């Protein structure tokens, strides 16, 4: 059966929080840069570099969240 130490769980949760923080920080920065020149029609979210980074970190965040959900269900059934 799956046995995780307290250190492994903390490390995984730290990684999830880190990816979430990077995603949120990048999203907020790009959003606020778009508000800088109001009124305007510039949408920085559509720029390829920002879109790629947001897609990458957003996908990682979703994957980590799903892994955390599955691990919590497995650990709950074990106890």
Answer yes or no: are the C-beta atoms of 64 and 15 closer than 8 Å: yes
Count Cβ atoms below 10 Å from residue 42 Cβ, excluding itself. Answer: 12
Mean pLDDT, all residues of the chain = 83
* Average pLDDT over every residue of 50-75: 88
Count Cβ atoms below 10 Å from residue 23 Cβ, excluding itself.
Answer: 19
Q: What are the residue boundaries of the structural domains of the chain, listed by start?
A: 48-79
Q: Structure pTM?
A: 0.74
Confidence of residue 59 (pLDDT cuts 50, 70, 90): very high
In the predicted model, is pLDDT for residue 79 greater than 80? no
pLDDT in tens, 3-32: 778 888 888 889 999 999 999 998 888 888
């Amino acid at each position: 059966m799956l046995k995780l130490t307290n250190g492994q769980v903390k490390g995984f949760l730290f990684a999830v929080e880190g990816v979430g923080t990077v995603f949120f920080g990048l999203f907020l920065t790009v959003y606020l840069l778009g508000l800088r020149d109001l009124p305007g029609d510039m949408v920085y979210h559509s720029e390829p570099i920002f879109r790629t980074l947001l897609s990458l970190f957003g996908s990682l965040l979703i994957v980590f969240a799903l892994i955390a959900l599955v691990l919590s269900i497995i650990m709950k059934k074990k106890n």
